[in-house]
Structure 1
Amino acid sequence: MDSCQNSSTGEGRHDFARARRIIKTDEFSSVFSLRPTQKSAHFVLYTRQNQLPNARLGIVVAKRFAPRAVTRNTIKRVTRELFRVTSLPAIDCVVRLSRPVNSKDGPATTAKLKAELRQELTRLFANANKPRPAK
């Protein structure tokens, strides 16, 4: 089973192919150089128009805000899942965790935590979909 065969980008696709990711440091930097578009309890969303046929996503989850790898991976997984099912215009989105989500003491992930994160991210992506006035 070769996952690269399904990596073509097309309208309405629900994949997370390489073309839909922000990977390079300078691509992240160009989005970070702008002001945050939105903030929620745990996340900051940065957006920038791109000249591509699709939206792209970058995720930044620092160890200091999510000390356990399980938690960091859960956050990334939930973010990618919501990005895939949300139809966004041609923009680059960087989602950055900006506050601690739990400590090393408690459970790494809980259903409650996942539901809260999913709700926040859904709201951020829905607002990113609204057209912004040009400055």
Structure 2
Amino acid sequence: MAQYPFSKSQRLLEASAYKSVFDDARLKASRQQVLFLARPNDLINPRLGLVIAKKNVRKANQRNRIKRIIRESFRLKQHRLSNIDTVVLARRGLDQLSNADLHTLFGQLWHQLQQKADKLANQPKNDS
């Protein structure tokens, strides 16, 4: 059975890492309830950051459930992802979805993000 860990090296830990994604998000994937922002990194693995605001998901148990499912979907898809830093932002209504709907939604968004990352990687670089 394949092992897919989610170690500390696969997390965005510092505010500067989040800021670099927000400032230079070249990859975006979204639905009404969630937004994925990403940018290529210089590491050998993708990294994940979460922004699940109390303003959009009021109850702590719902925020924790959503974070757990996002981390699990990332853990299972990480071997297919390019070296990107991704920040997941929750929007209103995300807590209304069932666990199965969340897994499906996040799976679609990871796939969409990877397709965009592949397209970005295949673009010729402009060195002016």
Q: Which runs of 5+ in 2 are unaligned?
A: none
Find the partner of 1:120 among 105, 112, 116: 105
Alignment of 1:45 onto 2:45: no
Correspondences of 1:92-107 after superposition (within 5 Å): 92-102=85-95
Equivalent residues of 2:34, 2:94 under 8 A apart: no
Q: Unpaired segments of 5 or more residues in structure 1?
A: 1-11, 103-108
Contact persistence 2:52–2:90 (CA under 8 A): yes
Quick one: which of 22, 27, 33 aligns to 1:32? 22
1:132 to 2:119 alignment = yes
Instruction: Give matches, 1:37-116, under 5 Å.
Output: 37-86=28-77, 87-102=80-95, 113-116=98-101
SS in 2 for 1:27: helix
Q: Deviation at 1:100?
A: 3.1
Structure in which a larger fraction of residues adopt helix: 2
CA distance in 1, matches of 2:104, 2:9: 26
Shift of 1:101: 3.1
The alignment's TM-score, normalised by the length of structure 2, stands at 0.82
Task: Output one character per residue of 1:89-128: Cα deviation in whole Å (capped at 9) or x when no partner.
Answer: 11101111022334xxxxxx8xx62122221111110111
Comparing 28-37 and 91-100, the one that deviates more:
28-37
CA contact (8 A) 2:36 2:88 kept: yes
Q: Cα RMSD over matched residues?
A: 1.9
Distance 2:20 2:82 in 1: 18
Partner residue in 1 for 2:13: 23
SS in 2 for 1:53: coil
Q: TM-score, normalised by structure 1?
A: 0.78
User: 1 CA distance for matches of 2:102 and 2:92?
Assistant: 12
Q: Distance in 1 between matches of 2:16 and 2:87?
A: 13
Query: Which letter maps to 1:123?
Result: Q
What fraction of aligned residue pairs are identical, expressed as a percent?
Answer: 30
